[in-house]
Amino acid sequence: MEKSLTVYQSTLDASRPLLMQAMARGDTTGGAATLDDLCHGAPVFELRDETGRPIGAYVLAMRDHAAARVCWVMAAGGSAPGVDLTGQVLPCVERQARTFGAGQVAITTRRRGLKKKLEAQGYELTGWTFRKKL
């Protein structure tokens, strides 16, 4: 279901409860990084529904490489029953990435369902991350 969503600039502290959902559902760092580590200094955006209620948040970080500037989605969390937040928010993230001068958007996830949603929107799997605690 399409829902009217508005994106606002936020702060890590204000959006922490929504972003912690992402860490709880699938920490991709193996416990090596906290939310603060992942999002240090990066812009935070909050999604609000038509009533102004916060329903999601995400953090974008630009990384410059020799061949491209990459916009990384460092954390994203939230929920709205019956709404595909991924489907509705990714086009906005892609527009924001372009305004930051990025030529790519990159997302790391542990969630199998998100992998399928991303592939349906043209994203491709470019590698795996393996970790071993020492």
Segment 12-17 long-range contacts (CB within 8 Å, at least 24 positions apart): 12/36, 12/39, 12/44, 12/59, 14/44, 14/46, 15/44, 15/46, 15/54, 15/57
For residue 92, what is the domain's CATH number? 3.40.630.30
Q: What is the pLDDT of residue 112?
A: 82
Q: Is residue 87 part of a domain?
A: yes
Q: Please count the structural domains in the chain.
A: 1
Query: How is residue 37 written in tokens?
Result: 């580590």
Q: Is residue 125 part of a domain?
A: no
Q: Is residue 130 part of a domain?
A: no
Residue ranges making up the domain that contains 31: 6-120
Q: Is residue 127 part of a domain?
A: no
Predicted TM-score (pTM) of this structure: 0.88
Q: What is the pLDDT of residue 93?
A: 95
Q: Rounded distance, CA 83 to CA 74, Å?
A: 22
Q: Is residue 24 part of a domain?
A: yes
Q: What is the pLDDT of residue 72?
A: 94
Q: Is residue 89 part of a domain?
A: yes
Q: Cβ contacts of residue 46 below 8 Å, gap of 6+?
A: 7, 8, 9, 10, 14, 15, 18, 54, 56, 57
Whether 95 contacts 63, CB under 8 Å: no
Q: Is residue 55 part of a domain?
A: yes
How many other β-carbons are positioned within 10 Å of the β-carbon of residue 63?
12
Q: Is residue 51 part of a domain?
A: yes
3-state secondary structure of 77: strand
Write the pLDDT tens digit of every residue in 70-109: 999 999 988 888 888 888 899 999 999 999 999 999 998 8
Low-confidence ranges of the chain (pLDDT < 70): 1-2
